[in-house]
């Protein structure tokens, strides 16, 4: 009885853990498929499933930081690394000459849907400014 109760409690905790994972954490963990085009110890880049431009990549830190307000001093290097890798990822996709846009939707009014900090890399057409 006690064993079963404790198993149930453990299952509930595991469920809660699974439920609390964002879709991006599940992509990092290879629990759901994604077209990953670059990864290293700190970041992962993959194609956006609903592209808003001919090329639409998401670059994310492996660490599940929900938004910029949750960044701590220890994340300094990872975020610097992420930005510095963007041109390499762009070059890998042949985007250097024509350029690209990097966007962070941070919070509700910006339209952030996934609470895992991510940089959109958009390219392949003339992008309007200001954005909508």
Give yes or no for residue 30 binding ligand AMP (CB under 6 A). Answer: no
CB 87 within 8 A of CB 68: no
State the binding string over 101-120 for ligand AMP (x if CB under 6 A, else -). Answer: ----x-----xxxx------
- Residue 61, phi then psi, degrees to nearest 5: -75, 150
Min CB(7)–ligand AMP separation in Å: 32
Can 118 be counted among the known catalytic residues? yes
The dihedral formed by the CA atoms of 19, 22, 26 and 29, expressed in degrees to the nearest 10: -100
Least Å distance, CB 18 to ligand AMP, is 16
Please say whether the dihedral angle defined by the alpha carbons of residues 35, 27, 29 and 10, taken in this order, is positive or negative: negative
Q: Does 22 bind ligand AMP (CB under 6 A)?
A: no
Binding-site size, ligand AMP (CB under 6 A) = 12
Give me the residue label for tokens 């350029």: 99
Contacts of 94 (CB under 8 A, 6+ apart): none
- Nearer to ligand AMP by Cβ, of 78 and 114: the residue is 114
CB of 52 to ligand AMP, least distance (A): 7
Q: Is 49 in the site for ligand AMP (CB under 6 A)?
A: yes
Positions annotated as catalytic residues are 118
């Amino acid at each position: 009885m006690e064993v079963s109760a404790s198993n149930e409690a453990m299952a509930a905790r595991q469920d809660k853990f699974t439920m609390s994972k964002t879709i991006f954490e599940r992509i990092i963990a290879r629990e759901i498929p994604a077209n990953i085009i670059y990864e290293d110890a700190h970041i992962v880049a993959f194609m956006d499933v609903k592209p808003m431009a001919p090329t639409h990549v998401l670059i994310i830190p492996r660490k599940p930081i929900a938004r910029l307000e949750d960044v701590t001093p220890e994340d300094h290097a990872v975020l610097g690394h992420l930005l510095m890798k963007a041109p390499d990822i762009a070059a890998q996709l042949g985007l250097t000459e024509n350029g690209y846009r990097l966007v962070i939707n941070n919070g509700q009014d910006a339209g952030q849907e996934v609470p895992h900090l991510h940089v959109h890399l958009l390219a392949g057409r003339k992008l309007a400014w200001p954005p909508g």
